[in-house]
Amino acid sequence: MPSTFSKRFLLYLGLLLGINLIQAGLMDLIYDEAYYWHYAQTLDWGYFDHPPMVALMIKISSFFFGGELGVRFIGVLMGVLGYALLWKLISHPEKEKYINLYFLLGLGLTLVHAYGFFTLPDTPLLFFTIVFLLVYKSFLQKATWLKALAMGLVMAALMYSKYHAVLVILFTLASNLSLLRNKYAWFAVFISLLAYAPHLWWLYSQEFVSIEYHLFERPNRAYEFADFTLGYLVNLVALFGLLFPFFYAALFKQKLPKGDRFNRAMVFLSYGIILFFFLSSLNRRVQTQWMIVMSIPMFIITFQWLLAKSNWRKWAMRLGMVQLVLLGYARLWLVFPVLLPLHYEAHGNEQWVNDLKEQVGDKGVVFENSYRDAPMYAFYSGANTFSLNNLMYRRNQYSIDGSEAKLQHKDVAYLHGNWNKKADKPIHITKSSGKELKGHYIDNFESYRKLRTYVVTEGTLPYNPGEEITFSISNPYSESIPLNKLRFGISYQNQFKQICENHGITVSAPEGIDSLKPGETIGFRAQLPLAQMKNEKYKKKKPSYFKVLISENGLLLGLNGNNVPLH
C-alpha cells in the first residue's frame, strides 16, 4: 500500500478484511447470491436480470476457495479496497486526524457495510463508482489520453456491474457539460462503448430480453402513497441508519460549488439520484439497494463537512459507535440465529438442502416457480436443478440458459409448493423459515419452456372477443415437438400487467402440420376469448393486455409470449 496510508488506517483495514472474510466463510448463502452463483457456472457476456460482472467475481472467487467463501472472496476484497480508495478521494489536509470518524461513518452506511461480505451486483457497482470518481477527479486536474482510456474502461466496468450505473455517468456529465466539448471525454466514451460492445451484442442476440423485462414486462400495481412514496422516503433514511441526520444536513447545507467541479459532481450525483428515484416512486415501489450509489458522494460531502463542525462531529462519533455496535450484533446474529428470535434468509439453507437430498437421493430436482430454491439446492447438493416458470411467476435466467436440457428426459423430483397432486411417493420437507416444499417424482421429465409465441400485430389490437388472431410459434429446440403434447391458452392482464384471468383456446394449425420441427416457426390461428372480469378489482373493465401461452405434457401454462396491448 502507498505511504499515504497511516499504520492506524492499515490496521483498521486489516481488521475489517479479517472480520469480513470470517463472516463470508461462516454464513450460508442468501438466495440472490445462490442465483448469481448459478450465473457463474456458465460465464457469458450477459444474464437475464443483470450484466455479467457479479458472475465473473464469483467465478474468480471459486479459483481460490470452495463453499461460501468461493462465492464471496472477490467481493470482500472489493469492499475493503473500496474503503481505501474512498479515503484517496478525500482532499482535506487534516483528514489524518479523523480516521476514527472516517471508519465510523463509512461502516455506518448500512448497505455499503453489508456488501462488504455479501456478493451481489451492487458490490462491484459501489467499488467501480469509487474507482470512476477517483479517475474522474484526476481527469479534472489534467486530462490526458491515458486518463481518458482509464475512464472509458472504468465506465464500462460500471455498466458491466449493474444497469443503474448509467445514473452515475449521466449525473456526473450533467454537473460538467463542458465535457461535451472535450476530445478526451469523447475518447473515453468511445473506449467505454467499445469495451461494452460484447454485452450489447449479447442483448441483441437475446432479443434485448433484460431491457424488455425490466422496462415493459414487469407487473406493477396502482399507486399507493404509503408503499411507494412514503416507502421510498423511509428507504432514504435506512441507507444511513442512525446517522441519517448528519448525511442530509451536510447535503442540504452544501452550496453548489462553482469552481470545484469534483464536489459539484458529488452534489449533482446525490440530488440527481434522490430526485430520479422520487419520480420513480410515483409509479412503482423503489427498492433500497437501487439508490445505494448515492451513499458514495454523500459520504464524501458529509465527512468533509463534519471536519469543520466540532459539535456535529462529536455527536456523529457517538451515534456512529452505537450504530457500529448494533450492526456488529446484527452480523453475529446472521451467523448465530439464536441471538435474535427472527429468521433471516441465510439461516438454515444448507440444512433444508440436506433434508431434501436425503429424500430424493441423486435425482435432479425441478422447482416450480423458484429461481431462488433451484440454485440454492444446486450449490449445496451438487445436483442439476431447473426452475420451471409458469404464468403465475416471472421469466428469469432459467428461461434462457441450458438448465432445462440437463434434466430433459430424466427421472426427476418435481417440487411444486402448494399445488396438490396425488402421488405414490410424495416429497415433503419444511424449511427453518416454516415454508413447506412439496412434490412428487416424474419419470422421463419433458418440458418446452423455451417455445416462444409472437402475435402478428402492428401495435395495439382492438378487444373484439370472438375475432380471429394470428400468432406464430418458434421452436428453438434440436428436436421435433408433436402438437398433441401442447395445449394453448390466453392470459388477460390489467393496465398494470397483473393477471386478471386465463382461458384455454383451440388453435388452428396449417394443414398437414402435426409437429414443430427444430428451428421452425409456424403460424397459427385462434379466436380471442371473452374476458369475464369477475374479480371485483377488475369488474366492468376490459383487459389491457393479453399473451398467448403454451402448456406441455399437462404442466401449467408457461411464459411463452410477450404482452400484447389491447384497446
pLDDT band at 302 (very low <50, low <70, confident <90, very high): very high
Residue 1 has what pLDDT? 37
pLDDT tens digits along 372-396? 999 999 999 999 999 999 999 999 9
Strands 468-474 and 452-455: antiparallel
Cell 394449425 -> residue:
509
pLDDT digit string, tens, across residues 243-290 = 999 999 999 999 887 789 999 999 999 999 999 999 999 999 999 999
**402 CB neighbour count, 10 Å cutoff:** 10
DSSP-assigned letter for residue 6: -
Arithmetic mean of pLDDT, 1-29:
90
* 56 three-state secondary structure: helix
126-162 residue pLDDT tens: 999 999 999 999 999 999 999 999 999 999 999 999 9
What is d(CA 438, CA 461) in angstroms, rounded to the nearest whole number? Answer: 41
Q: Which of 125, 187, 188 is nearest to 159 (CA)?
A: 125
HSE-CB of 346 using CA atoms within 13 angstroms: 20
Right CATH for 452-565 from 3.40.50, 1.20.58, 2.60.40, 2.40.30: 2.60.40
Percent above pLDDT 70 for the chain: 97
The residue behind cell 446484527 is 330
The letter for the amino acid at 7 is K
Angle at 93 (CA atoms; ends 87, 95), nearest 5 degrees: 45
Helix (H) or strand (E) holding 471: strand 468-474
Residue 537 pLDDT: 63
Query: Buried (b) or exposed (e) across 451-473, using 16+ Cβ within 10 A?
Result: bbbbbeeeeebebeeeeebebeb
Sign of the Cα torsion 227, 228, 231, 235 reads positive
Task: Tell me the per-residue pLDDT of 39-72, one tens digit each, with 9 for 90 and over.
Answer: 999 999 999 999 999 999 999 999 999 999 999 9
Tell me how far apart the alpha carbons of residues 497 and 500 are, in angstroms, rounded to a whole number. Answer: 9
pLDDT at 457 over 60: yes
Alpha helices in 175-309 (DSSP H): 183-205, 209-212, 229-238, 244-253, 261-281, 295-306
Q: Mean of the per-residue pLDDT values for the chain? A: 94
At residue 464, φ and ψ (nearest 5 deg) are: -125, 90
Whether the full predicted model's pTM is greater than 0.85, yes or no, is yes
Domain ranges of the chain: 121-205, 349-442, 452-565
Across the range 200-216, mean pLDDT stands at 92
β-pairing, 436-442 vs 412-415, is antiparallel
